[in-house]
Amino acid sequence: MKFLRIILITLLVVSCKNETKKADTTPILTENNAQNLDTVVTQLKYAKGFTIKNYTTHKTLNITKPWPEATTTYKYLIASKKNLAKISYSKDEYNGIITNDISKLVVTSTTHIPALELLGVEKTLVGFPGTDYISSEKTRQRIDAGEVRELGKNEGINTEVLLTLNPDVVIGFGVDGINKTFETLKKAGVPVIYNGDWVEASALAKAEWIKFFGLLFNKEKEADSIFNNIEKDYLEAKRIALQAQKRPTILSGAMHNGSWFLPNGSSAEAQFLKDANVNYLWSNTTGKGSLSLSFETVFNKAQHANLWLSPSYYTNFNQLKDASELYANFDAFKNKSIYTFSNTTGATGGVLYYELGTIRPDLVLKDLIKICHPELLEDYTPYFFKKLND
């Protein structure tokens, strides 16, 4: 009997150890073992700065290019509150854990506003740094009603006010990843996601970031549909531009601190001009950022340019001439063939192009075609660009 009792005790101990071992080896959800679940990768046509993977219980978002020289990928786990309670995951592997039951949101760039409105989730916006820059009439009404709090400036967001809003997530942008405000928010448990739409190399790639917001709000199908329509309209406008019989020569930009800044030929701005079927005089240049040239270099090449587009922030000819008498020597100045988007503003002075132009490149392209080839879009009225005021 004593021997039998020893055997029973031994079996009991072994059984308990096995149960304990089984409990201790519950798999933690990571990017690697998530591959064992059903996976669908969201196919992006143009955007290079983010990737999306869809699993049975959750989704992952990787921001691969939040700013031009970024070398770090930011990873986020996204799921409903219900599914988050069901799965185990390692917080150390992700830069943020986000529920797609978002009810309160803070964004930090006006380019984010149209995406929210197009998806019908603008009422989740509770705070913004620099509300005067917002041009949308719909969102301005919410600002005026006190439903969207002013958060100061992007360079120095009022963290105290932001934290009192208790947002589910903050959509930020950065130029180098060094942002004390965002670090404070992360420590307080508020997820921050960097949006890199502005880094993309083409207009359609920037517009495709609406799928980023579609993911966050569980509105992927709506985002796909919206983008597909924008893409269709853009490509149709590009096709129409090819019918032009003449290609006007184009000058762009203006001087700042003695240097003339204008788009390099591989930039998204130059891509617009290429798709509008015009002769941009610096279309063969490449590089990062804007070209920085002397006045003499620009004048020698563009003195007789047919059109001058986007002369910096100047809104009328007097401003331009007061800034430098040299501008008056260009044919485009003499012929008053200068066009700007700076005169199309919201109620508080925000420039609409900077807000809506990113997500609606089809409108930008049509504007340029109307200006450069007016015979091709006879019934179209430019949305952003207007002649420089007298």
Same domain for 214 and 249, yes or no, is: no
The number of folded domains in the chain is 2
Q: What confidence category does residue 29 fall into, taking pLDDT thresholds of 50, 70 and 90? A: low
pLDDT tens sequence across 299-355: 999 999 999 999 999 999 999 999 999 999 999 999 999 999 999 999 999 999 999
Q: How many residues does the chain have?
A: 390
| Coil/strand/helix, residue 275 | helix
Same domain for 194 and 117, yes or no, is: yes
The count of C-alpha atoms lying within 13 angstroms of the C-alpha of 218, restricted to the half-sphere facing its C-beta, is: 12
Given a cut of 90, is residue 288 above it in pLDDT?
no
Helix ranges restricted to H, the chain: 2-24, 81-84, 113-118, 137-144, 159-165, 180-187, 203-207, 210-216, 220-241, 268-275, 295-302, 317-323, 331-334, 352-356, 361-372
pLDDT tens sequence across 67-91: 988 889 999 999 998 888 888 888 8
Residue 173 forms part of a structural domain: yes
Task: Name the nearest CA neighbour of 65 among 86, 46, 53, 51.
Answer: 51
Report how far residue 119's alpha carbon sits from residue 227's, in angstroms, rounded to the nearest whole number.
Answer: 11
Residue 317 forms part of a structural domain: yes
Residue 328 forms part of a structural domain: yes
Given a cut of 50, is residue 2 above it in pLDDT?
no
Same domain for 250 and 290, yes or no, is: yes
Residue at which a domain ends, from 203, 230, 257: 230
Same domain for 217 and 266, yes or no, is: no
pLDDT tens sequence across 195-231: 999 999 999 999 999 999 999 999 999 999 999 999 9
CATH of the domain at 263: 3.40.50.1980
pTM: 0.88
Side chain identity at residue 181, one-letter code: T
Residue 162 forms part of a structural domain: yes
Q: How far apart are the first and last CA of the chain?
A: 111
pLDDT at position 32 is 52
Same domain for 226 and 278, yes or no, is: no
Report how far residue 233's alpha carbon sits from residue 296's, in angstroms, rounded to the nearest whole number.
Answer: 39
With 0-12 / 13-18 / 19 or more C-beta atoms within 10 angstroms meaning exposed / middle / buried, residue 235 is: middle
Crossing angle (nearest 10°) for helices 268-275 and 220-241: 50
Residue at which a domain ends, from 170, 205, 230: 230
Same domain for 226 and 170, yes or no, is: yes
Q: Which domain holds residue 164?
A: 33-230
Residue 224 forms part of a structural domain: yes
- How far, CA to CA in Å, does 85 sit from each of 88, 89, 99, 331? 8, 10, 11, 67
What are the strands of the beta sheet with 149-150, ordered from one edge? 149-150, 125-128, 105-107, 169-172, 192-194
Report how far residue 219's alpha carbon sits from residue 122's, in angstroms, rounded to the nearest whole number.
Answer: 13
